[in-house]
Every structure is written in structure tokens, then in C-alpha cells.
Amino acid sequence: MKRLLALLATCATVLGLTAAVSPPQATAAATGCTVEYTVTSQWQGGFQAGVKVTNLGAPATGWTLAFALPDAGQKVTQGWNATWSQSGSGVTAVGLDWNRTLATGAAVDLGFAGSFTGANPKPTAFTLNGVACTGALEEPTPDPDAGTPVDVNGQLHVCGVNLCNQYDRPVQLRGMSTHGIQWFSQCYNAASLDALANDWKSDLLRIAMYVQEDGYETDPAGFTSRVNGLVDEAEARGMYALIDFHTLTPGDPNVNLDRAKTFFASVAARNAGKKNVIYEIANEPNGVSWSAIKSYAEQVIPVIRAADPDAVVIVGTRGWSSLGVSDGSDENEIVDNPVNATNLMYAFHFYAASHKDSYRATVSRAASRLPLFVTEFGTVSATGGGAMDQASTTAWLDLLDQLKISYANWTYSDAPESSAAFRPGTCEGGDYSSGGVLTESGALLKNRISTPDSFPTS
């Protein structure tokens, strides 16, 4: 990221209540649904709740969720991931442009804050487009051939311009990045990682280990141990672990060349027998030429290869890993002067509200010439703050899906910035799944990541 992330305090966007809400014009009737209602936190006179709605019937193009609050003293004060309104005890939540289509079996995570003066009982009667949500999710029939992302794909490698699995077929990994583990280690515990693997159905955990900014340089042994511990946690849950040597300030990775050699010699030797490890050797080079980045890579990669000859290595690119676009260049400088190594990919980063058509055009061109991996992206501006740009984010994710380019979203954290997946304070509790704890960005990403993978095995 192009700033000291831990010091920013951009609040997540919260949707206010409207006086009245009309149902969407194009609405297909739902024929069954189920609702999970969770009070995620409660205090004197107030509470926060998450509402997860799963459509069990026909696809709904536009939806309205309705329910009644059982106690006269209960009021919805603000809500998110829908347009909320209340009349008397009746509450409605109407889908937004980015989540208004609800396919059969699809779920949407909503949340709201409320007040109460007496008791705070949970509502029990919910309807989706007028149909009572009394259905139950069917237990899926076990598939003996199914497994975790690592079970299915095994050791990854680069084939042509693609990331490929053990069957030599192109795959796309979709996952989340931690924030700096020196600041947000409380967000990466058994409960949060279980949620990431099982509820979010993430393929990938990117482990962001800052080098400066109170990071690795302050305690090399301690940070190396923390990274290895998260690699093990990801492995235990069948996720790939992307070890990110998060160089940012200074922007020239050669400043940290000796540290990089020491760190990667250690983690590569320790994790060489694992199938789930990917190495990202320089996060966002900036203020430095491509030739200097290439020189750094050609000194660090042999250190990794000496211990772990098979793992995929990702190299950061010029202009904060923009393939040089943010510095007025493009992918040709890499195509004409590639890193002299094999099993190698190049990093691309974007922030959807700041980086739009010209950046997408570069990725579209470059993807046919270079193996690309989006190791970090955000739904907001390059500062990590501001409103989520739903249109640009969707355009980006659709493009990455089309090109089978893997990605990790910034960030799986409750940082006080709108790029975070969780609302502030979430990591002090144990709920990492309900709509009540997700920001607008977190809800969108969870909906995208949790859709089924289609990993080819033949």
C-alpha cells in the first residue's frame, strides 16, 4: 500500500435509513429461503446484528427482505449492504445494485445497528419477496473426490503464462491478504482462519510481513516464526500460503537485499516439503527502475531455489507493482528484459477506485505475454480509504476471472479503513462470518470468493 496503513482511520461506509423504500422494479419471486440472524454485539440500550439470507428458490433479480421486530422498543438505527427502512415494527432491507441478483443457493450477508428500551428478542418471521423464509438448507451429498484447494491442486507451477496445478491445468486462486501482522495479529486466530477457509471458502491466505514500519527488521527471528506459524495454519485448512516480504518504504528492494536473503533462506528451508507455499519477494517497489528490481530478484531467487526448487516465486514490478503503469511505463519493459528464472510470476496491484480502464487494458495485454498474479488489490482508492467503487471492482474481478488470474484482497482485518473486510472491533470477538461484522467491501468479496471453485483435474 502507498501509505502507512496502520495510521489511517478511514471509516467504513455505512448506509443510512430511508423514509420509504419501493421494491425493485424487476423482481422475480423467491420460492423458498432461510435466514440466519445473529446478534454480534450488545451494549446498554444498543446492539448490532447480522442477517444472512440464502435463496432456496428460483433466482431473484431484485429482492426485498422483510421482518418484524418483536419488541416495541426495538429500532433500526443504521444498516449496511442493503437499503434499510422501518415503519412501526416492520423492517425492510432492499438489495443494492451490486448484490440485487440472488441466484438459487446464493447467500447475501447484511447487517444493522439498533436500539432497544426493554427486551431485545430476536425476530423469527422473515420473508424474501413476500415468501416466508421457513426452508432449510439441504446437507450436500459428500463427494469422495472433493477436497481442499491444496488437496485438489497439489504443488503449483507456472506453465506458459498461467498458474497451473498438478494436472498441468490453469487454475485461479481467490483469497485474502492479512494486514501487517505486527499491527493486526489478533485478527489471525483459529476462529478467523476457520471462517476464511470454511465459510469464505478461500483458496489462499497472503501473509503480509512488513520489513520496516515495526516489522521484520525489529525482530527477525520473531517475525520469521510468526510467518511459519501462519503457513502451518493455512496448510492445516487446505489453503495456499503466500509469503509476502512486504517492502514498501524505502521503495528500492535492494535496500533490504541482505534481509531478504536471510529471511527467504530460512523460510524456504523450513517449508520446502510443503505443497502450499508461494513466495512473494518484493511487495511494491517504487521510485526504482525495473533493472534494479530485476537485479534484486536474480539475487534472491537462487537463495530460495537452493532450498525449495519447486515453489512458485512472484516478483514485484515497477510503480507499486503496476507493471510500470503508475510510472508512465508498461509491461514491455519486463517482456523485453525478463527475470532470468523459471517458475516465476509477476505481481500486479490495483485499487479499484483509483485504477481503472488504462490499468485494465494493460493487464489484458500483458496476460498473454507474462504470468501475472494480483497479490494485492482493494475495492477503494489507493489510500485504502474512501467509498467502495462497486462498478470498477466488479469489472476488475470479472476480468481476472476471465483471464484466470489469481488474486488476494486487501485486507482480512478490522483496520479503521474502508478497504478492511471487517468492521472495527470485530477481531476482539469470535464472529468472522455474519453480515453484522462485514463492511461493504467485505460482503462483496466474501460473495465472490465463496462461490464454488472449478479446478480442473483432467
How far apart (Å, rounded) are the C-alpha atoms in residues 419 and 23?
30
Catalytic residue among 213, 333, 376, 417: 376
How far apart (Å, rounded) are the C-alpha atoms in residues 432 and 176?
13
Q: Scan for cell 439498533, then name that residue.
A: 114
User: How many residues make up the chain in this entry?
Assistant: 458
Q: Indicate if 417 belongs to the active site.
A: no
CB atoms within 10 A of CB 26: 10
CB 375 within 8 A of CB 347: yes
Q: Helices 257-271 and 220-236, interaxial angle, to 10°?
A: 40
How far apart (Å, rounded) are the C-alpha atoms in residues 186 and 3?
22
Catalytic residue among 233, 235, 284, 333: 284
Q: Indicate if 331 belongs to the active site.
A: no
State the catalytic residues.
Answer: 284, 376
